[in-house]
A and B are shown apart, each in its own frame.
Chain A
Amino acid sequence: MDWTLYIYKTIFLFIILLVTLVVAMYSTYGERKVAAFMQDRRGPNRAGPFGLLQPLADGVKMFMKEEIIPLSANRVLFILGPSIAMTTALLTGVVIPWGGNLTIGGREFSMQIADLNIGILYVFAMVSIGVYGIMIGGWASNNKYALYGSIRAASQMISYELAMGMAIVALVITTGSLSLHEIVQQQHGMHWNVFYQPLGFLLFLTCAFAETNRAPFDLPECETELVGGYHTEYSSMKLGFYLFAEYINMFISSAVIATVYFGGYNMPFIDQLGLSPNALTLLGTAFFFMKIFFFIFLFMWVRWTLPRFRYDQLMNLGWKGLIPLAMFNIVATGVYYYFFELT
């Protein structure tokens, strides 16, 4: 038994959990700030300096609210829904390589909790289970709006997961590996996958918006049509869990996009700096987080720019637009590698 490794992994796991939660927490703050700035307002600025304590205040508010479970709701599933949403959202962070190797006391430790050789598939699996949280929650509420919301969520997820998977298939053709660690390693220098798979990146990004239920694809919780969508009947921290899960998903999606298409923790000219390996690793992690924050900002930027799609437009875009494009992308990539780059 290698106890130091276990201790290191446990500590690292908690750090990642903490970081994920804090980033998600401050995403709510960032979202409100970005929204405000884009509408020529100031946003929250009362709780603490620049309103930085606003997420704490919101959390306290969520906990203090009355918890209502409708009489006609299925109690077990009603509680299970947000739990699944939250759990799966948190689970995805396990396979993401947050940085290179750290050397502590002469031993090398990887800044990745689990280097699965099917990392990408794991991410997809977790995201797919995430939809069960929404489905179960919406169905258990015994409310037609909630049910509509969850049905929309389910069909949207299925439609967009296809295109997303196909975008990744094309990527896997170029990388030849499903392990996130290896994909990042291959992108060392400026060999970021986005330059080899620009179409794939666009498809993946669009599908990521749909997968996280963010505008312009936020139909499952579309306020103007469905009251609150799948979380209509939810109150207190169970509602908080759903909202929080959305922000965690956003963080994880940004991390996955940054890992898979934008070189993860690789940064340009890193070899020329001449720093010690540990410093380089930490610098890379910092750079990785900068990429993630940029994508989180992109998510918010798009949300406060574009109006929501109509449902038939959403399905049209998914089935008639993205999936054929993704197939074309696979074929084009395959042809290129078969004829021009025999490996």
Chain B
Amino acid sequence: MQQLTNRSKVVSDKKMTFLEKIYLPAIVKGMAITLKHFFRKKSTISYPEQTRPFSEIYRGQHVLKRDDLGRERCTACGLCAVACPAEAITMISAERKPGEENLYREEKYASTYEINMLRCIFCGDCEEACPKEAIFLTDRIVASEYKRDPFVYGKDILVEPLDPNKRIDVSKRQTESVLKFKQNKRFAHNK
């Protein structure tokens, strides 16, 4: 049989030699190994202060984007909910009343939009399904909670803040191929 490593040793139950019997050489050898590890670089990453570098296209907590004028992009078409393999997304649509044009970009909008973060598998299909470029996954981590209820994120958490300085940057998620795909004339209305 082909050996996987060159470290395997044939086991035998031969009598221990005198040096092995007094244990001391083996103990000293073992202690030298542990002492070597004592001064070795630690492999721990002290998490809240240090983080591992995230992938450019990390798929974390979702964001519902606003457009340049601060209007919600989502039109509550439900395609994300349909695309979702975990059935984590629910929404209720409503009609935009006159005078609300500065709040919602489309005539129909989502009055509630909820993602159950315990069901979500962060596959990114919602993002792909969205015709309005309204939902994106970001490199933010979903915070832990003590109970289940708070994991159902509503619009208060998902929609990005109005303040232009506090907008969530999703440009990293839009790779070249995505941008190219979005050049398609069919989505021209979505500018």
Q: How many of chain A's residues touch chain B, expressed as a range?
A: 10 to 19
Any B CB within 8 A of the CB of A173 = no
Q: CA–CA, A253 to B46, complex, Å? A: 36
Would B44 and A304 count as touching, CB distance under 8 A?
no
Query: Which residues does chain A contribute within 8 Å of B40, judged by CB atoms?
Result: 40
Would B42 and A301 count as touching, CB distance under 8 A?
no
With contact pairs A37-B37, A38-B37, A40-B37 given, residues A305 and B30 touching in the complex (Cβ less than 8 Å)? yes
Query: Which residues does chain A contribute within 8 Å of B46, judged by CB atoms?
Result: 42, 45
Any A CB within 8 A of the CB of B171 = no
Query: Which residues does chain B contribute within 8 Å of A37, judged by CB atoms?
Result: 37-38, 42
Chain B count of residues within 8 A CB distance of the other chain: 15
Would A305 and B44 count as touching, CB distance under 8 A?
no
Any B CB within 8 A of the CB of A39 = yes
With contact pairs A301-B34, A301-B35 given, residues A42 and B27 touching in the complex (Cβ less than 8 Å)? no
Chain A, 33-44, contact with B by CB distance < 8 Å: what is the 0/1 string? 010011111100
Interface residues of A in 22-48 (CB under 8 A from B): 34, 37-42, 45
Q: Nearest Cβ in chain B — how far from A313, in angstroms?
A: 10
Would B42 and A40 count as touching, CB distance under 8 A?
yes
Query: Which residues does chain B contribute within 8 Å of A302, judged by CB atoms?
Result: 27, 31
With contact pairs A305-B27, A306-B27 given, residues A42 and B42 touching in the complex (Cβ less than 8 Å)? yes
Query: Which residues does chain A contribute within 8 Å of B24, judged by CB atoms?
Result: 202
Q: Which residues of B contact A (CB under 8 A)?
A: 24, 27, 30-31, 33-35, 37-38, 40-44, 46
Would A301 and B43 count as touching, CB distance under 8 A?
no
Q: Nearest Cβ in chain A — how far from B39, in angstroms?
A: 8
Q: Which residues of A contact B (CB under 8 A)?
A: 34, 37-42, 45, 202, 301-302, 304-306
A-B pairs with beta carbons under 8 Å apart, 28 shown: A34-B38, A37-B37, A37-B38, A37-B42, A38-B34, A38-B35, A38-B37, A38-B38, A39-B37, A40-B37, A40-B41, A40-B42, A41-B43, A41-B44, A42-B42, A42-B44, A42-B46, A45-B46, A202-B24, A301-B34, A302-B27, A302-B31, A305-B27, A305-B30, A305-B31, A305-B34, A306-B27, A306-B30
Name which residue of chain B comes closest to A303, CB basis. B34
Q: CA–CA, A41 to B46, complex, Å? A: 10
Q: Nearest Cβ in chain B — how far from A295, in angstroms?
A: 14
Would B33 and A305 count as touching, CB distance under 8 A?
yes
3 residue pairs, one from A and one from B, having the closest CB atoms: A305-B34, A38-B34, A305-B30
Query: Which residues does chain B contribute within 8 Å of A40, judged by CB atoms?
Result: 37, 40-44
Query: Which residues does chain A contribute within 8 Å of B44, judged by CB atoms?
Result: 40-42
Q: CA–CA, A304 to B34, complex, Å? A: 8
Interface of A is mostly: loop
Q: Which of A34, A39, A45 has the most chain B CB atoms closer than 10 A to its own CB? A: A39
Q: Nearest Cβ in chain A — how far from B28, in angstroms?
A: 10
Query: Which residues does chain B contribute within 8 Å of A41, judged by CB atoms?
Result: 42-44
Q: Nearest Cβ in chain B — how far from A277, in angstroms?
A: 38
Q: Nearest Cβ in chain A — how far from B101, in angstroms?
A: 51
Q: CA–CA, A292 to B24, complex, Å? A: 22
With A39-B37, A202-B24 given, can you name 9 additional A-B contacts, CB distance below 8 Å?
Answer: A37-B37, A37-B42, A38-B37, A41-B42, A42-B42, A42-B44, A45-B46, A305-B31, A305-B33
With contact pairs A40-B42, A41-B42, A42-B46 given, residues A301 and B37 touching in the complex (Cβ less than 8 Å)? no
Name which residue of chain A comes closest to B27, CB basis. A306
Query: Which residues does chain A contribute within 8 Å of B31, judged by CB atoms?
Result: 301-302, 305
Q: CA–CA, A301 to B43, complex, Å? A: 20
Query: Which residues does chain A contribute within 8 Å of B27, judged by CB atoms?
Result: 302, 305-306
Q: Nearest Cβ in chain B — how far from A137, in angstroms?
A: 31
Q: CA–CA, A34 to B38, complex, Å? A: 8
Q: Nearest Cβ in chain A — how far from B49, in angstroms?
A: 10
Q: CA–CA, A42 to B47, complex, Å? A: 12
Q: Which of A37, A304, A305 has the most chain B CB atoms closer than 10 A to its own CB? A: A305
Q: Nearest Cβ in chain B — how far from A219, in angstroms?
A: 17
Q: CA–CA, A39 to B37, complex, Å? A: 7
Q: Nearest Cβ in chain B — how far from A140, in angstroms?
A: 36
Name which residue of chain A comes closest to B30, CB basis. A305
Query: Which residues does chain A contribute within 8 Å of B33, judged by CB atoms?
Result: 305
Q: CA–CA, A153 to B44, complex, Å? A: 37
Q: CA–CA, A301 to B34, complex, Å? A: 8
Q: CA–CA, A40 to B37, complex, Å? A: 6
Q: CA–CA, A306 to B32, complex, Å? A: 12
Q: CA–CA, A302 to B32, complex, Å? A: 11
Query: Which residues does chain B contribute within 8 Å of A305, judged by CB atoms?
Result: 27, 30-31, 33-34
Q: CA–CA, A37 to B40, complex, Å? A: 8
